[in-house]
Amino acid sequence: MIKLIGILVVAAGFALRCNTLLVVMAAGIATGLCAGMSFHEILAQFGRYFIKNRYLTLPVVLIVPVIGLLERYGLQEHAERFIRNAREATAGRVLLLYTAMRQISIALGVNIGGHAGAVRPLVAPMAEGAARARHGALPEKTVQAIRAHAAAAENVGNFFGEDIFIAVGAVLLMKGFFDAEGMDVGVWSMALWGIPTALVAFAVLWWRCHRLDRRVAREAATGPERQDRS
């Protein structure tokens, strides 16, 4: 039971709005001490995993220079202009289309998209542009809601398409687990049983995007004029 102290530290830390890095480090140290590791050992573990997981940070750092450059030369403005020409576009429809593309491509094993490479420079500006083309200037909170939904569209598309492809990640992990247990479970049956949830996820996102469009229309009609964000 005492091993769960780390979870308690995390919960308390998030509830008290302490610095997240501090909460995570404190939780690791508390858990390690309870499991009988020395302070030195725990820091060595932190160091080992920190180095091993550098790949999590690598794409962001390599992508931001070129995205920053393109943004300075008007990439977000271009994405907005591009979408303004599409009459039927709304913020919700742009995001739904992106999620569909993301789900289908990743189900076929092609991982395109991402928060730094696609959502910030293209998807979020297109969704905002579509909303602005219909409703004019938007209140700041509406812009923030559209952006948060853009990040959600990326995550849903990414997570709930991936399990259908057999050659990567989740399905192989499950296969490995069953192999280790001495059970013979086929990769295709696991991949196929990912499809119903993938469809549900898309339907749920359709519902949220529909709600987003209604919210944008309502807030644009009543909200205060938005300041230029540059």
Partner 1 sequence: MSLVTIEVFYAIVGLILLLVAGRIALDASHPKRLGSALFWLLLAVTFLFGRVIPPVIVGYLVLAMVALAAVKQVGSSTGQSATRAERVAHEERLRHRLLWPALLIPATAVAGTLLLGRVRFGSIWLVDPRQVALISLSLGALLALGLGLRLTRAPVLTPLAEGSRLLQTIGWALILPQMLAALGGIFAQAGVGGVIARIVAAALPTQYAFVAVLAYCAGMALFTIVMGNAFAAFAVITGGIGLPLIVQLHGGNPAIMAAIGMLSGYCGTLLTPMAANFNIVPAMLLELPDRYAVIKTQAPIAAAIFIANVLLMWLCVYRF
Question: Residue 113 has which token pair?
Answer: 């998209």
Site for partner 1 in 66-85 (CB under 8 A): 66-78, 81
Instruction: Note whether 226 and 139 are within 8 A (CB).
Output: yes
Instruction: Note whether 127 binds partner 1 by CB under 8 A.
Output: no
Report, in Å, the least distance between residue 227 CB and partner 1. Answer: 11
Instruction: Note whether 55 binds partner 1 by CB under 8 A.
Output: yes
Question: Residue 108 has which token pair?
Answer: 């076929």
CA distances from 138 to 95, 135, 162, 201, 217 (A): 18, 7, 35, 28, 9
The region of 85-93, 131-139, 182-190, 216-224 touching partner 1 under the rule CB under 8 A is 182-190
Site for partner 1 in 183-222 (CB under 8 A): 183, 185-186, 189-194, 196-197, 200-201, 204-205, 207-208
Site for partner 1 in 8-37 (CB under 8 A): 10, 14, 18-22, 24-25, 27-28, 31-32, 34-35
Q: How far apart are CA 140 and CA 169, in angstroms?
A: 38
When binding is defined by CB under 8 A, the residue of 86, 97, 104, 111 that contacts partner 1 is: 111
User: Taking CA 176 as the corner, what is the angle to CA 171 and CA 179, rounded to the nearest 5 degrees?
Assistant: 125
